[in-house]
Amino acid sequence: MKRVQDKVILVTGGAMGMGQTHSELLAEQGAWVFAADLNQEKGQAVVEGIRKKGGKADFLKLDVTQEADWNAAIAQIIERAGRIDVLVNNAGILIMKPVQDTTNDEWDRIFAVNVRGVFVGTRAVIPHMQKAGKGNCRIPDDCIDSRRYPLFMARAVLQALIEEHEQASKGARTP
């Protein structure tokens, strides 16, 4: 039995890099992958590649900073697949600059994509997972890294949110 056989999985940033790899590996393991990205051309190519190997995949246009995009993407998944089992919050931007060289706009963009995008998307899928009585939202571990760059500071905020969520799900709330 493949590990994610017949799971319906949404991978954000699925058109390139790690998101492409997540999409391909999950499809190889039997999942129905919805690869969502800003980049339609590359995303569509990833989906075609998965299908050629016998996997099940669809592309969805999604800007993770836009709540309307999330709602439209999730509505399409529910319409086609009937449920969403896993959300892989992979989409992110890398602005590899030291703090002193990072502009306010770059900082805001990092938070909009890498942090707020995860919050908005996770919030959008929760009602569907609650209705189904199961579901999982993941942030790939590689996204949590050192705090040297603002990018990783943003990710560190997410790490704290994850820890809070884990504590809450065990019944112990942090102050």
Ligand X SMILES: NC(=O)c1ccc[n+]([C@@H]2O[C@H](COP(=O)([O-])OP(=O)(O)OC[C@H]3O[C@@H](n4cnc5c(N)ncnc54)[C@H](O)[C@@H]3O)[C@@H](O)[C@H]2O)c1
Decide: is 162 part of the binding site for ligand X (CB under 6 A). no
Query: What's the one-letter identity of residue 93?
Result: I
By CB under 6 A, is residue 58 in contact with ligand X?
A: no
Q: Decide whether 4 or 115 has the Cβ nearer to ligand X.
A: 115
The least distance separating ligand X from the CB of residue 22, rounded to whole angstroms, comes to 9
- Distance from C-alpha of 114 to C-alpha of 117, rounded to nearest angstrom: 6
Q: Which residues between 79 and 98 bind ligand X (CB under 6 A)?
A: 90-94
Q: What x-and-dash track marks residues 112-141 binding ligand X by CB under 6 A?
A: -xx--x------------------------
| Contact predicate 84/125, CB 8 Å | yes
First to last CA, the chain: 42
The residue type at 50: I
145 forms part of the interface with ligand X (CB under 6 A): yes
Instruction: Give the separation between CA 174 and CA 52, rounded to whole angstroms.
Output: 48
Name which of 49, 111, 120 is nearest 89 in CA terms.
120
Return the number of the residue (26 or 62) whose C-beta is nearest ligand X: 62
- Tell me whether residue 2 or residue 35 sits nearer to ligand X (CB atom): 35
142 binds ligand X (CB under 6 A): yes
- Least gap, CB of 175 to ligand X (angstroms): 29
Closer CB to ligand X, 6 or 108, in the complex: 108
**20, 46 Cβ separation under 8 angstroms:** yes
Among 24, 58, 63, 85, binds ligand X (CB under 6 A): 63
CA 105, CA 22: separation in Å to the nearest integer? 29
Which listed residue (24, 37, 58, 85) binds ligand X by CB under 6 A?
Answer: 37
What CA–CA distance (Å, rounded) separates 155 from 90? 12
- Would you give the DSSP letter of residue 141? G
Binding footprint of ligand X on the chain (CB under 6 A): 12-13, 15-19, 37-39, 62-65, 90-94, 113-114, 117, 142-143, 145
